[in-house]
Every structure is written in structure tokens, then in C-alpha cells.
Chain A
């Protein structure tokens, strides 16, 4: 049991969230183990971002619970948040700060001990390919570099869980490839949740895929499992989110 709680980094059970009368997210369960990269798919408006906001403690669920490495998000939000790195859809960048200043600020906000601030900064910049732009203002960087700064702010405090909301949106193919290999690399040490619209990205980067549709989790299977069944992710995705098939019927193991 103890080993299970340690290897399970995110456990969300029965997550619901209503906005007024509309249920944006309903009964979502999610489990993620250390060293796993989860692809989080769904059409626009399916509730992906809402779910991620609940996982990161930015939004209180109407019902259900979130535990991060065994720590309850509602009960001990500070300890739980310290273990998460989150890159929202729009990277939260202060354009008027330099890359170094910004990353140091983020590290301090996440209570990184002052003795290891500098090494953490150097290591993070290296991983994200930012070593040459440390002195530049964030506002003057290109979109690809800004995205990298966004990822850097999510991993500088060495979190157990990294949650990335559409990290490759709007990047050119080369930058996408770089970011994907970075995510792959992150998956070795951290657990990663990756939300995206690019199905091929999920197939190359992720170990497991979950699909959301109309606020419900309609699919959950490993990429290897998909390959064994000889179905492509695209087929599954369009079948689940376009077809008349009612969600829940096709719930895979």
C-alpha cells in the first residue's frame, strides 16, 4: 500500500465541476504513476483545461478529491502545490523581466532553497535550451523561446508532477520536435500530463492516453494497448467524439 502511494503521483477521484447549471467536468477519475507520460485529449470545450486547473489547485472541484503524492490538495494545498509544475495554455510570463530574473522568481515562489537556486537555474536553462538567452527580456524572445521559458518555469523546482497545457501550440516543426524530446526526457523522472490536439504527438511521446468528451472521461488506455488492438488513435478519437456512441460504453480497460 505504502509503495503504491509513493509511486502514484496524481490521484483524482470523482472530480466534478459545475459553472452555474452547466457541468463542465463530471466524474473524472485520473491516476498517474511516476515516470509516466499521460496524453490528455479531447475536443475544444471538453473540460481539459478545467480539469487541469483543478489538478493544480487553481479551481476548487464541486465534488471529488485530488491527491498529489498522497497529499490532499484541498487539505494541504501548499504542500501539494509545491510538487506540481504547471504550464497553462497561455504561459504566465512577465514580459518586462529577464529570463534569469523570472526563473529565479519562480524558484523562490516555489520555495527552492537559496543554496540550490543557482544550480537549479543553470540546470533548467540547459534542459530547456535557454542558456544563451538568460540576460534577454522575455518580451523580446520569439514565441518558441517564450514557450521554453514557460516549460522552464514549470520544472525549475523539480516537481514530481508536470502538467503542460498545449505546450506545442503555435510552434514550428523543429521547435515542436525539440519540445517533444524535452517532454520525453521529463517523463523519465517526473510524471507528465500533456494536453494537446496533435494526435501524432501523443503517439510518439506518451505512454498512456485519456480522452475527454463533454466533461467526461470516455477513454483510457496505454499506447501499447492501442497498438495491440491495431486501432489508430485517430480512429478512436473521432469515433468517441464525433459519433453517436454514448460515452461510457466504450470505456476501455
Chain B
């Protein structure tokens, strides 16, 4: 049942021009960053040889692309998540799902899964972009995979939060604005923190993504992401369940 809903979401997503536009824009921005970093790498390459243990092409080109990809997807997610519940409510199609013999958990997880499959497509494209470097050299595949896992997890966080905010309202624009606001807040939270052990830093999404970006898979970060995803998915399910009571 979850897959039926996930498949339906993907179909609806690709039936509109939104998905294609977003994919094209993401690819354009990342392609541009890629070219810029590649240019910079070629410029400093001769000097790098002189340092002992120099940073490789993966650190200089691939990691910044993934950092940029996370920022771009942060902007794009609200546009995708606002459709999931808020727009279904506005179009009165939510009744179809709530009248069907399926639970709210199926609905929320199906929608989440559908969006994650879309994100997997985006991440796949970023991977292909990075792997194109293999034509001219070697890559640190471990670092590349750590980046991909990090990006997947942070996208799941965006999606879970967006899904919850979307479940709060029947106005897609409000859902999008709310999600973007909160995500940006979580993103820049650590700016206010001056010392390393601050709670602000612990809660910031960016800080946790940074370690994946450096190739460090920390159980603390994994736990943070899992809890974040789980919390907002459960909240969304509870919210939809409660709707039957509130009317």
C-alpha cells in the first residue's frame, strides 16, 4: 500500500513540470559549481604537488559540490513537500486517501517514500557528475559514498519536516514558506553559537552534514538524523489522525 502511494506521488510529480524544472535547475547550478571547482583545482594543481599529503580531487571538487547540493535541495524541498498534503487538501483529493481502507501511517510513509525516490534520482545525478572525474584521474570512492549517504540523510530530514508542516495547513504556499523558514533556521543555527559544545551547534542540521562532507560517518550524526526524521514523520501521522477528531 505504501508503494502504491509512493508510486502515485512520483507519477503526479513527473506529470507536472515542477519535477523536471527542479531537476534541470539543480543540475545547472551544480554543473556550474563543478566547472568552477575544476578550474580552481587545475590552477593550484602544480602547487599541490609540492605539499606533503595534499588534498585530492575528491576533497577539492566533489565535497563542495555535495555541500552545494544540500543547500540547493534545502531550497527545493519546500516546493515539493507543499504538494504532498496541503495541496491535496486544497484540491479536495485528501478525502480519497482518508476514505480508502488504509492507515494514516501508510499515507505519510508512502508520500515520504515517493519523495525520497525522487531525491535518490537527484543524488544519482550528482554522483554521475562526480564520477565523470574518473575520466581524468582517480577518486576517493569512500569519501564520495560518505557524501552521498550524508546528502540522502539530510534530504530525508528536509522531507520529513516538510511533510509535517504540509500536514498543518491547507495552503500550499504557507506550507512552503513555513518549511523553508524552519529549514533555514536549522541550517544557520550554529552561527549564533561561539563555542563548540553549545546546544545550538548540536541542533544545527549543517553541522551534522559537515562531518559526512568530510568523510566522517559518526554514530552521533546518524542518531541525530534518524531521530529528526522519525520525530517529524510521527508528528505528521499524529496530526492526520487527529484531524478525524477535530474535523
Q: Is the CB of A92 within 8 A of B100?
A: no
8 Å CB contacts to A: which residues of B82-106?
Answer: 91-103
Q: Is the CB of A109 within 8 A of B12?
A: no
> In the complex, A72 Cα to B143 Cα: how many Å?
55
8 Å CB contacts to A: which residues of B1-44?
Answer: 1, 4-5, 8, 11-12, 15-16
Q: Is the CB of A84 within 8 A of B99?
A: yes
A56 partner residues in chain B, CB cutoff 8 A: 99
A58 partner residues in chain B, CB cutoff 8 A: 95, 98-99, 244
Q: Is the CB of B15 within 8 A of A106?
A: no
- Residue pairs across A and B with Cβ atoms less than 8 A apart, 21 shown, are A17-B247, A50-B247, A60-B245, A78-B101, A78-B103, A79-B101, A81-B99, A81-B100, A88-B95, A91-B92, A92-B93, A92-B94, A94-B93, A95-B91, A96-B12, A96-B15, A97-B11, A105-B4, A105-B8, A108-B4, A109-B102
Other contacts beyond A78-B102, A88-B99: 4, CB < 8 A: A58-B244, A78-B103, A96-B16, A111-B101
**Total A residues in contact with B, Cβ cutoff 8 Å:** 34
A14 on interface, CB distance cutoff 8 Å: no
> In the complex, A106 Cα to B8 Cα: how many Å?
10
> In the complex, A97 Cα to B5 Cα: how many Å?
14
> In the complex, A133 Cα to B6 Cα: how many Å?
26
Q: Is the CB of A90 within 8 A of B100?
A: no
B244 partner residues in chain A, CB cutoff 8 A: 57-60
Closest Cβ of chain B: how far from A92's Cβ, in Å?
Answer: 4
B93 partner residues in chain A, CB cutoff 8 A: 92-94
B94 partner residues in chain A, CB cutoff 8 A: 92
Pick from A57, A105, A108, A111: contact of B99, CB under 8 Å: A57
Closest Cβ of chain B: how far from A71's Cβ, in Å?
Answer: 11
A110 on interface, CB distance cutoff 8 Å: yes
B96 partner residues in chain A, CB cutoff 8 A: 92, 106, 109, 153
Pick from B92, B245, B247: contact of A92, CB under 8 Å: B92
> In the complex, A82 Cα to B103 Cα: how many Å?
12
- Provide the main secondary structure of the chain B interface: helix
8 Å CB contacts to B: which residues of A78-134?
Answer: 78-82, 84, 86, 88, 90-97, 101, 105-106, 108-111
B5 partner residues in chain A, CB cutoff 8 A: 109
B245 partner residues in chain A, CB cutoff 8 A: 60
A96 partner residues in chain B, CB cutoff 8 A: 12, 15-16
> In the complex, A25 Cα to B176 Cα: how many Å?
35
> In the complex, A58 Cα to B246 Cα: how many Å?
11
Of A78, A105, A111, chain B has the most CB atoms within 10 Å of the CB of A105
Q: Which residue of B lies closest to A85 (CB)?
A: B99
Closest Cβ of chain B: how far from A211's Cβ, in Å?
Answer: 23
Q: Which residue of A lies closest to B99 (CB)?
A: A86
Q: Is the CB of A81 within 8 A of B101?
A: yes
A92 partner residues in chain B, CB cutoff 8 A: 91-96
Q: Is the CB of B99 within 8 A of A97?
A: no
Pick from B4, B12, B92, B101: contact of A97, CB under 8 Å: B12
Q: Is the CB of B95 within 8 A of A110?
A: no
Q: Which residue of B lies closest to A93 (CB)?
A: B93
B97 partner residues in chain A, CB cutoff 8 A: 109
B102 partner residues in chain A, CB cutoff 8 A: 78, 109
Closest Cβ of chain B: how far from A170's Cβ, in Å?
Answer: 15
Q: Which residue of A lies closest to B107 (CB)?
A: A109
Q: Which residue of A lies closest to B94 (CB)?
A: A92
Q: Is the CB of B101 within 8 A of A82?
A: yes
> In the complex, A97 Cα to B103 Cα: how many Å?
23
> In the complex, A166 Cα to B99 Cα: how many Å?
17
**Are A19 and B247 CB-contacts (below 8 A) given A94-B12, A101-B11?**
yes
A77 partner residues in chain B, CB cutoff 8 A: 101
A91 partner residues in chain B, CB cutoff 8 A: 92
Closest Cβ of chain A: how far from B18's Cβ, in Å?
Answer: 11
